[in-house]
Chains A and B, each alone.
Chain A
Amino acid sequence: MPFTLTPRARLVLLVLVASTLVGAVCAKVNTRGHLQLGAAEARVMVDYPAPSIVDRRSLAQDISTLQKHAELYGQLLTTRPVLDAVARRMGIPPDSISGLSRITAEVPITLTQPDSELRASQIEASLAPYRLELQPDPEYPVLLIYAAAPSAPDAQRLANDAVLGLRDYLRTLAAKQLYAPANLPVLRQLGNASASVVNHRAPIVIAALSFIVGFALTAAGLWTAIVLRRRRRDGRAPLQSDPRSRYLDDWPHTTRLLPWALAGFVTLLWLTPFNRIQLDFHTPIDLKLDRLLLPFVALIWLIALLAGERARPRLRLTGIHVAVLAFVALAFLSVTLDAHYLNQTMELDLSLKKLPLLVSYVSVFWMMSTAIRPSEVRAFMTLTLVLAVIVGLEIIWEYRSGTNVSSFLSQKLLPHPLELLGSTKVQVDSLGRRGIVGPTDVGLEAVTILTLALPIVVGRLLSATRGKPRLLYGLAVCVLLAAMLATGRKSALVAPLAVLLTMAYFRRREMISLAPLGLVIAVVASVLSPGAVHGTIAQFVRPDSSSVATTSDRTSDYDAIRPDVWSHLLLGRGYGSYDISTYRILDSEILSRTIEMGVLGLLALLAIGFSVILCARRTIARRDSPYAPLALIGAACAACFLTVATLYDELGFPHATYTFLYLAGLVAVVAGRENEVAATSPQLRERALRVRRARRRRADASPQRRGALV
């Protein structure tokens, strides 16, 4: 019997073949040109003419004088006349060589961060194929010369010729100034420059990345076109309720492994300082605790794909999925299209380390949105609330006692070979604020995760009618707010405000009814964290509030990054390639995305937040839907995500990013299901019917209705 393919299989095969071809072409095109990069290192000692400083009896100030001259020569090597002298020695065009000197002296960090003009100059210098970087030793008269060139021998020659070029320049200057050549400082090169190729794998890596991006984008584009065409022909299929809701084994009353694994991972996200826990031996990438455990969760998800309907993950593509996938696609595209430049500046590895991290973030969103049933979302929200309250209590304890409980426990309980990085003691920043962080890395991140949990408890408070739950939810709000304020960050007032305003927009009447309770909550919160409320508010009202370092540094970033933005306007310089330790510390995800992913990347980031609000909007409007409160939580979380994006680089902090994305995944599960009351679990169905009956009773009792009936 001849082997035949079904039409669907044929279509899939066609898409795969076309995508493979496009991927191969992309790989071929993007690996054209010279990709190899050599680097070399040389050391030069600035010395007196005979006898040397090594031989002569010298004072500390003699060393200091020579060290200053080493610094001066380091700077001289970046100037045009000396670079021209080096280029002459090398036999290369003068424009193909550039120099950069690092400040190694102890100066305020604001002086080492490049402003707009300097950054533009650095960008111009980074385009040269032959580059020198000079670092004077801060104590001794030794100058470190790092050279980068298209090959290792070239780099070695460049490092050696830099010394000779500098010597040539000093001789020329001495001749001009009639200075005795015998009295010139001596540049003693400490051995021949050592050189090597620093990016052996660059062609393979760039080819693989280009293939993956070309393949994935072509496959996605073709498949979307096929689906749209089919829809046009057959009409849109009616929205079906989730068939898994028929099974009455919703988490946590289930033996299904996948939701339990996800719940376990969520617990890990909240309760452990996982970003500071890693293996105590060297690995090619930093294997933090989340990256050690996430593959197991992903494996369970993959195995569940083979299971029956009851346990199988189910994809329902929403606008949130599209926004998240578009962001990931643009992140990969930005690195692929700028791979040559990043390879030249040796920043490609940085991006290649950040891309898997982005994939791990998104995988949590993906697994949540496919594995969790609509009827389980409320339980996961409850879990989040409980964990948030635990973290809140921990932060309050840290504020009052100075002990970081999660770090302390991790240090005591972690088995070998895991180790906790950093200190368990509370640090103090430049404004004198104590670093109250809980399980997170920075106070702002702690504020973010607690703010993301705030709409859950406020939502519950809105719907609670009886006294005891109302009291408990009220206490939970107090704990969360007190913990946020205990971090001492100004964002502790800004981020919750964004959440509350979003909730007030959708539920005005109900939120106003909570106003008296708000006063009580404010008093209790200030009792839980004494001094924190006053301290946080004082930061806004102090006379120099607009010129304190945290504000002025943030403001100066907007001008300083203009050269980066204008030189890579559309797609940025590549996701993850802007190293804050080399350039500037950017306290804004908006700025980071604009630099690394361009205007399109920034729009994609904003689209993630807005897509959650837009997808949730219709469900929120259907007040009788059991999913309306859950969608409202999602919209408020998205508002929080967008707000904190302007306050710090949130994607660099995994607690906040994971938490937002898994909550967005949960919202994606319930969004657009406002009409699905009958298909949900009995509890939710009963609740929806109760709400409907109550609304009908209210409507019947209204005077107009009574009048109409009469």
Chain B
Amino acid sequence: MKFAAGLWAAQFRAMGSPCEVLVESPSEQRAQAVAEVVAACAARIERKFSRYRDDSVVARINGARGGPVEVDDETANLIEFTVRVHELSGGLFDITSGVLRRAWTFDGKARIPTDTQVQALLPLVGWSKVNWQRPRITLLPDMQIDFGGVGKEYAVDCALVEARRITDEPVLINFGGDLAVSGPRRDGSAWRVGVEGVTAPDASPAKLIELSMGALATSGDTYRYLSDAGKRLSHILDPRTGRPVEHAPRSITVAAPTCTQAGMFTTLAMLRGAGAEAFLRNEGVRHWIQREDADQDRSFSARE
């Protein structure tokens, strides 16, 4: 672990992102214990819910070929959470939308799928096609679910709960930009978090946010896009049409009590494309949105 400016810092990789744990403690041992508990939590959740792993619950569900799969309490709770968000968002948020990835490859090149290709996948998308009766979930053959939109944030919240179980000291958990703090720092001051800006290689973070309580989530990956006749198509797909959301901002950061909530807000705002600002303003959550204009690379809008 490294020590700098009063904080013990541990770094590791999980869920495809650089992760870090900061503990404000005079004891390296205690900080080490916290870091281990957090890393274990991240590893456990990745092993359980990653769609890339053959031994995950998600792989089991996706490979059931039309048959029912019985899941445990934690998975059931997560499913029910995503169902609730699906309802609250009018169908915009849908964990079955992953199959659309087969048509859309976001690597900056111009490989736009045809309408036929997209239409072919739409029958496999839509939570209404899933039979969910706790604790059993049944997908249609070839349907897929993935918790990519909620997994990392959920992991942060879980890890924080675990960390608070073993220590009262100030802790910050950051999984690739989705982060949460246990409370303010020892001297009452806030944690200072730099939000990545979409700027030049040698520029410092675009915004410095002071977080005393709660969590921040950022929907980043702002360079995953496709170019269609010069127009940038974002990588956020609308599950109802199978096409990229138009006018999606380059990046959204939201502050909320838990990372899961913050993550949901960023995802739902992204899915609303041009309506992202209005949505977040209406919800009354602290947010920072970066958009790409025709002339300027970024224009920042931050509202209460």
| Chains A and B belong together in one complex | no
Chain B residues at the A interface, C-beta cutoff of 8 Å: none
Task: Give residues in A with beta carbon < 8 Å to B.
Answer: none
